Structure 1
């Protein structure tokens, strides 16, 4: 049931229209940032997340060759900014950073599932998880670079 709810939230949020700059709607306060444990909590979350990404057979091949510390640092910065924290995400836009990575919808959904496991392990409330997922979901358009309908057998 939890997975269905999260998928519905992702689908609904993914259908939202982004602003012309591609910026995501950011909370007006820092409640979400605090719910994730502020900076230290986000660092801990991303450490757990990266460990799980590397060991999951669906996501490991995408993350093993990456600069894992850089990815974690960028994710901390991004989650901090999206959650209303004091950070400003200064990394590359999602389209640019994922353009050459051959990520399909299944890969994306596997990553979201692994993120949910990490958030559960860190004791982040389900409602707060959904708030963050809703902020992240519109990025799927720029992260998914391989569309199954275009693949040839």
Structure 2
């Protein structure tokens, strides 16, 4: 049975807009930009192999997606990055993603962080930083 982090599903129910953190301890805890890149690449590899959500990754520029996700997680973790992508609403417009789709990607992210040896405390911190985006992504 899959363990829930912080409980991940409950954290992802929030829909407020987050502000990047003031310190970089999470950024450092994720392995800085190189570690975040490995986490994002692992997440995307998991997602394209995940029969629940793989179809959402067809016909997209996966390299651009990787780069924008790295930027976004870097910013959310308090790193020295700038997010240059579209808003979450614009990026997901017309995709009609469900809670199940969103949760599947979160599970893929958790698996990627586990594979990179990211401590559960740091995983929970990142999930809490990303949780407010849920409302900007699903059912758009």
Q: Choose which of 3, 6, 9 in structure 1 pairs with 2:8.
A: 6
| Cα drift, residue 46 of structure 1 | 1.3
When the two structures are superposed, what TM-score results if normalisation uses the length of structure 1?
0.84
| Offset from partner CA, 1:94-152 (integer Å, 9 cap, x none) | 00110111211110111111111111111111111111111111111110026xxxxxx
Q: What is the TM-score normalised by the length of structure 2?
A: 0.92
Paired residue total: 138
1:27 aligns to what?
A: 21
**How far is 1:2 from its partner?**
2.8
Match of 1:71 among 65, 68, 82: 65
Q: Rg larger in 1 or in 2?
A: 1
**CA–CA distance in structure 2, aligned partners of residues 52 and 26 of structure 1:** 26
Name the counterpart of 2:90: 96
Which residues of structure 2 form unaligned runs of 5+?
Answer: none
Structure 1 runs (4+) deviating above 3 angstroms are: none
- Compare relative contact order (CA 8 Å, sep 6+) and give the higher one, 1 or 2: 2
Partner of 1:131: 125
Alignment correspondent of 2:135? 141
**Structural RMSD (CA):** 1.5
CA distance in 1, matches of 2:58, 2:36: 21
Unaligned segments of structure 1, at least 5 residues: 19-23, 147-153
* Counterpart check, 1:61 vs 2:63: no
